[in-house]
Amino acid sequence: MRKRLNKIGCFFVSFLSFLLLTGCSTQEIIGGLTQELHQSIQQIEQKQTSSERVAVDFVRHVDGDTSVFLVNGKEQKVRYLLIDTPETVKPNTPVQPFGKEASNRTKTLLSNAKEIQLEFDEANKTDRYGRLLAYVFVDGQLLQETLVSEGLAKIAYVKNKEAKYLKRLEEKQELAKQQHLGIWSN
């Protein structure tokens, strides 16, 4: 990003010199350049943000922390990074407290979403079951954060203490614990 900004900066310095030599007022030049530079920076930031996330279509719901999405034209089972919800469909395991609530909440959010995006972690692309691992964004909101905030999920399976959204989730989990929400109500 800095290289792009340096190129943009060099272009504007050259352009400024040209305009000064042709007789344009400094105030007009600086105002125009400032606006163009601001727009260029916004475009770069938008490209970087959109390139980190992949738009997907919701196919079906599995449980509170796993869903199937259409990713680049292919159905993929996706396990949500950094969280675990109480079990509802695990073989030989009874439905756990707040499992149905977590599962229903996830299904409702995904079914009603206008836009769903996945963001992948470079260090953790798949789990041992071959599922994609991803952060799930529903209409711009991190789904994992919603579930943790409501006490319907807990932080789990942390492979990297520097994971992108870990601190944010830890703060939300602490608030849910303090408020005795969902799984923290006992």
Q: Which of 4, 53, 131, 168 is catalytic?
A: 131
Q: From CA 13, how far away is CA 22, in angstroms rounded?
A: 14
Q: Are 99 and 64 in contact (CB under 8 A)?
A: yes
Task: Please give, one letter per residue, the 3-state secondary structure of the chain.
Answer: CHHHHHHHHHHHHHHHHHHHHHCCCHHHHHHHHHHHHHHHHHHHHHHHHHHHEEEEEEEEEEECCEEEEEECCEEEEEEECCEECCCCCCCCCCCCCCHHHHHHHHHHHHHCCCCEEEECCCCCCECCCCCEEEEEEECCEEHHHHHHHCCCCEECCCCCCCCCCHHHHHHHHHHHHHCCCHHHCC
**79 has catalytic annotation:** yes
Q: Which of 4, 36, 53, 87 is catalytic?
A: 87
Q: Which of 79, 101, 105, 145 is catalytic?
A: 79
Q: From CA 133, how far away is CA 115, in angstroms rounded?
A: 19
List residues with catalytic annotation: 79, 87, 131
